[in-house]
Structure 1
Amino acid sequence: MKHNRILACGALALALLASCKDSPDVPETVEKISTEYSVWVTSATGSYLLTTDNLMKDTLLTPVGNKGIDLSAYLPAAFYAVYAYNHEGKFYVSNNGTRFSQLEIQNNATLKETDNYAFPSNFFLGKVLKDVSTKDELVMTKTAGTFNEAKNVLEQPIYFMNLKDMTLNKTLNVDIPFLKYAPLKPDKTPYTNPYMVPTSITVRGNKLFVGHKYRGTDVSGSMDISDTTYVYVCDYPDLTNGKMLKDARGGFAAGHWEVQTLTFMDDNNDLYIVTKNRIASTYGLIRIKSGETEIDKDYFFDLKDYNVFKNSTAQVQKLGNGKAYLSPYVVDPANKKVIADLRILVGGGESKTTMNFMENGKLYDVFKTDASKWFVFEYDPATNSVKRGAEIDPGITHVYHVNKLK
């Protein structure tokens, strides 16, 4: 028989919205949590954080009946989970356009804002540079920088956030050159207000790689307008000796400005960047080999025959032993092979997360089955097999995060 394993909801709106950086609502002590994992879900009634001590236990996770931690009074919109990141068991969340909050589960029952930082101007959490972040410092960007017309560059800030007291240790600005020509619509007229969006920021050794794309507006609204992969590379951390890399084979550097990333490094330290054809909405992989700063012209992995990221642009994961997860597929990028379709292994369904995660060499993701049931699944790359874990209430509409809390 299934048993509910959910934390009770806290009175978040009054406790959290009343706090600010000048007088934060910081408890004197923080209770250690005994729960191990969380699943961030949305439903017709709001956004919820569901927890469990074992993702693979035969249990039902549900927000029904005021169960779970209700985030909907705190976040302006459910989709703002794409501007949230879990680091060392704490959640770091953008919520009102300037306020950056540190949230922590206490006493297995409530979620508390333990600190925050108020940016002086617009801020929503963009990419996290996980390879250079540490336990006590989160290296991150915001969703988009500032266009400097005089220099014709996007000034993209990189923030080094001290997580002990939520202050900035330092801020760097990388200047990404803008196109020297106006992108044109199919009728050869310019798009309205074209702008640049960073889609990935990766540090490899002493080099910084920034994948980006262009967007613009016509009568149908805002859209991707670039057909070329652009990657800006420069020295790190001094951000000098920059140059632009271009490749026209796969479309633009895929993804958007939210926290999930579509790049990864393999066991050889080769950097792979997902590309997207804006017309056909198909994907591919380009490669920058270890120790090099040019796109490998002899390598392109065309994934046009596969429904990569069919339902959500999920976090790409390096699985090890030459494998990577590009939802819902397991691929061998170096040899340009698709090893497995997890939809088949789970018995039918679609991957539905934005942020999945790895633990002890195994991948944890959530699939909505063909029978419209939501389950956590564990994938073992060593055996190419899956196990079904906790079920999630069928009334939810999306799973944004699957996170480890400690």
Structure 2
Amino acid sequence: MNRKFLFWSVVMACCAGSVLTSCSDDTVPENSTPDAPGTGAGTYVVAATVDGVNYLLTAESLDEGSVTVKNNGLETETGTYWVFHNNDYLFRLVYNKGGDGTGSSYILNSNNKLEEHLSYAFKRITTYGTWGDNVITASTGDTDRTDAGGYAEQGILVNYLNSLDGTTSTKTYPCENYLGNGEYVTFSGFVQANGKLYTSVIPMGMSQYGVKAFPDKVTDPQLVATVAGGSGSGAYKEGSIPSTQYPDHAYVAIYSGNDFSSTPTIVATDKIGFASGRMRSQYYQTIWAADNGDLYVFSPGYGRLTTSSDDLKRVQGTLPSGVMRIKAGETSFDDTYYVNLEELGNKHPMYKCWHITEDYFLLQMYTRGLQSKGEYTTELAVFKGEDRTLKPVTGLPSEDVLSAYGNIPYNENGYIYMPVSTTDGSTPALYKIDPRTATATKGLTIIAESVSTVGKLTSQK
């Protein structure tokens, strides 16, 4: 039987007697007003996939009803990441592995219909965010500068994708010895708060260029690779130090200008490891601002995964998943604040996290120990910053049938909505999580195979 026909047969059987279009919301959270399409209040947008084809769907409510991709929605190319810029534009970004990235932006037109707005081409992505009118992406790679031996200086390759006119500006910023320890770096996530831009700085070891330029920064000659090795994102070159010498340190750069050409303020701590979720070459944001401007810095503790081999010595980290804080307007970590996440809740290490509201954060946890492939991360928990508490979320599908979460949840009116896919024959659904009780309630059902993200767009006038 044709796979697509089989899928739709299952869908129709599961949904017999139900309406496969979005339904209005009869239960409105306190102190909120329901959105009406075409009024400028905004319309919910869901990115869903069937048979490798992506669709953008609209819905009137996230709390109930269902929407379908069958004969519905705007068909688009696939996207690695979906970024909502304010409520005006939705960006589709494609990673393309080691190659250059591509993407498009989408709008809700004056007739409240989704349409493609602008197209983009840019350098490869390992992290992304927004800054002013731009969606920004960043990665680390060779610059045009080389030393006498032909070794390339490393730099941060930043793409500025303007949401207003579609222009793309690519700039390269040197990142050798960025932290003063001889190592080159990459960025992980971007947060606009307190009139500044914050980014987590991830030390990457020393490049061939760096080892030659800063020999006094090599803490142990045995850390320098004598032959090339590794594969994929873990490949390294002879004469380099392939992983950081400082796995038990976290660094945050604070920028005051409009781009990365200004000199940042570097905030450092040795109480947690580097602050980033990780899966292969991708770096997921784990720094977020609370509503009062305090920046919470979460570290999964990935330095513990670093191991030595017979051919190469590496520095292994020891610190667990932890949280520290930079108070609003401050340029140093709050020395009175530290939380060991692995002593709370179900005592699991952390994978990803997102801000919900106030000082509540949603954390995605490993259930079978720390690893860097994003597997066995079916537990969600709510962290309360001021209270230093972590509560596992209840009301979700059981772990034995839960197959995946969406890449980016959506927060509104004090709740956060997480796309959830299962293996029990059910179609994906959004689960509404109340951070105060750490409970999840099933909401909008999406008749598709998987859901990447959900957000809101306001119609263009």
> Is TM (by shorter chain) over 0.5?
yes
**1:358-377 superposed matches below 5 A:** 358-368=411-421, 371=424, 373=426, 374-377=428-431
The 1-side partners of 2:388 and 2:129 are apart by: 28
Question: Cα 1:103–1:88, aligned 2, differ >3 Å: closer, same or farther?
Answer: same
Q: Give the corresponding residue for 1:353.
A: 406
Question: Cα 1:149–1:198, aligned 2, differ >3 Å: closer, same or farther?
Answer: farther
Question: Cα 1:40–1:231, aligned 2, differ >3 Å: closer, same or farther?
Answer: same
Contact 2:142 2:153 in 1 (8 A): no
The 1-side partners of 2:61 and 2:387 are apart by: 35
The match for 2:54 among 47, 57, 69 is 47
Contact 2:356 2:362 in 1 (8 A): yes
**1:64-75 superposed matches below 5 A:** 65-71=70-76, 74-75=77-78
Check if 1:4 corresponds to 2:55.
no
Unaligned runs of 5+ in 1: 7-30, 184-194
Q: Give the corresponding residue for 1:331.
A: 383
The match for 2:136 among 134, 140, 145 is 140
Contact 1:126 1:144 in 2 (8 A): no
Contact 2:382 2:392 in 1 (8 A): yes
Which shifted more, 246-255 or 101-110? 101-110
Q: Give the corresponding residue for 2:32.
A: none
The match for 1:58 among 28, 48, 65 is 65
The 2-side partners of 1:138 and 1:110 are apart by: 23
Deviations 1:259-292 (A, max 9, x none): 9632112244221122122255763212222232
The 1-side partners of 2:440 and 2:229 are apart by: 45
Q: Give the corresponding residue for 1:402.
A: 454
The 1-side partners of 2:446 and 2:191 are apart by: 33
Question: Cα 1:174–1:221, aligned 2, differ >3 Å: closer, same or farther?
Answer: closer
**Which amino acid counterpart does residue 255 of structure 1 have in structure 2?**
G
Question: Cα 1:107–1:181, aligned 2, differ >3 Å: closer, same or farther?
Answer: closer
Q: Report the Cα offset of residue 36 of structure 1.
A: 2.1
**Which amino acid counterpart does residue 233 of structure 2 have in structure 1?**
S
Which protein is bigger by CA-based radius of gyration? 2
Percent of aligned pairs with the same amino acid: 20
Unaligned runs of 5+ in 2: 1-16, 23-37, 206-227, 235-241, 306-319, 365-379
Q: Give the corresponding residue for 1:302.
A: 340
**Which amino acid counterpart does residue 209 of structure 1 have in structure 2?**
Y
Question: Cα 1:370–1:336, aligned 2, differ >3 Å: closer, same or farther?
Answer: farther
Check if 1:390 corresponds to 2:426.
no
**Which amino acid counterpart does residue 222 of structure 1 have in structure 2?**
S
The match for 2:276 among 254, 260, 274 is 254
The 2-side partners of 1:372 and 1:341 are apart by: 25
**Which amino acid counterpart does residue 286 of structure 1 have in structure 2?**
M
SS of equivalent residue, structure 1 residue 252:
coil
The 2-side partners of 1:215 and 1:62 are apart by: 44
SS of equivalent residue, structure 2 residue 92:
strand
Deviations 1:216-244 (A, max 9, x none): 88435434944133425345117545354
Contact 1:200 1:212 in 2 (8 A): no
Q: Give the corresponding residue for 1:271.
A: 295
Question: Cα 1:353–1:272, aligned 2, differ >3 Å: closer, same or farther?
Answer: same
Q: Give the corresponding residue for 1:159.
A: 160
SS of equivalent residue, structure 2 residue 386:
coil
The 2-side partners of 1:285 and 1:67 are apart by: 43
Deviations 1:185-225 (A, max 9, x none): xxxxxxxxxx6331023344354432122458843543494
- Which structure has the highest strand share of the two? 1
**Which amino acid counterpart does residue 47 of structure 2 have in structure 1?**
W
The 2-side partners of 1:101 and 1:45 are apart by: 18
Question: Cα 1:252–1:345, aligned 2, differ >3 Å: closer, same or farther?
Answer: same
Q: Give the corresponding residue for 1:380.
A: 434
Question: Cα 1:54–1:243, aligned 2, differ >3 Å: closer, same or farther?
Answer: closer
The 2-side partners of 1:116 and 1:221 are apart by: 29
SS of equivalent residue, structure 1 residue 222:
helix
Question: Cα 1:124–1:251, aligned 2, differ >3 Å: closer, same or farther?
Answer: closer
Question: Cα 1:229–1:51, aligned 2, differ >3 Å: closer, same or farther?
Answer: farther
TM-score of the aligned structures, taking structure 1 as reference length: 0.69
Q: Give the corresponding residue for 1:319.
A: 357
Contact 2:288 2:354 in 1 (8 A): yes
Check if 1:219 corresponds to 2:222.
no
Deviations 1:24-46 (A, max 9, x none): xxxxxxx9999822222334433
Contact 2:188 2:284 in 1 (8 A): no
The 1-side partners of 2:202 and 2:382 are apart by: 26
The 2-side partners of 1:124 and 1:200 are apart by: 12
Deviations 1:298-349 (A, max 9, x none): 4322223544666xx4x611421x32222321111233211x322x233535
**Which amino acid counterpart does residue 116 of structure 1 have in structure 2?**
S
The 2-side partners of 1:68 and 1:391 are apart by: 15
Question: Cα 1:263–1:114, aligned 2, differ >3 Å: closer, same or farther?
Answer: same
Q: Report the Cα offset of residue 356 of structure 1.
A: 1.0
Q: Give the corresponding residue for 1:233.
A: 253
Check if 1:92 corresponds to 2:95.
no
CA RMSD of aligned residues (A): 4.0
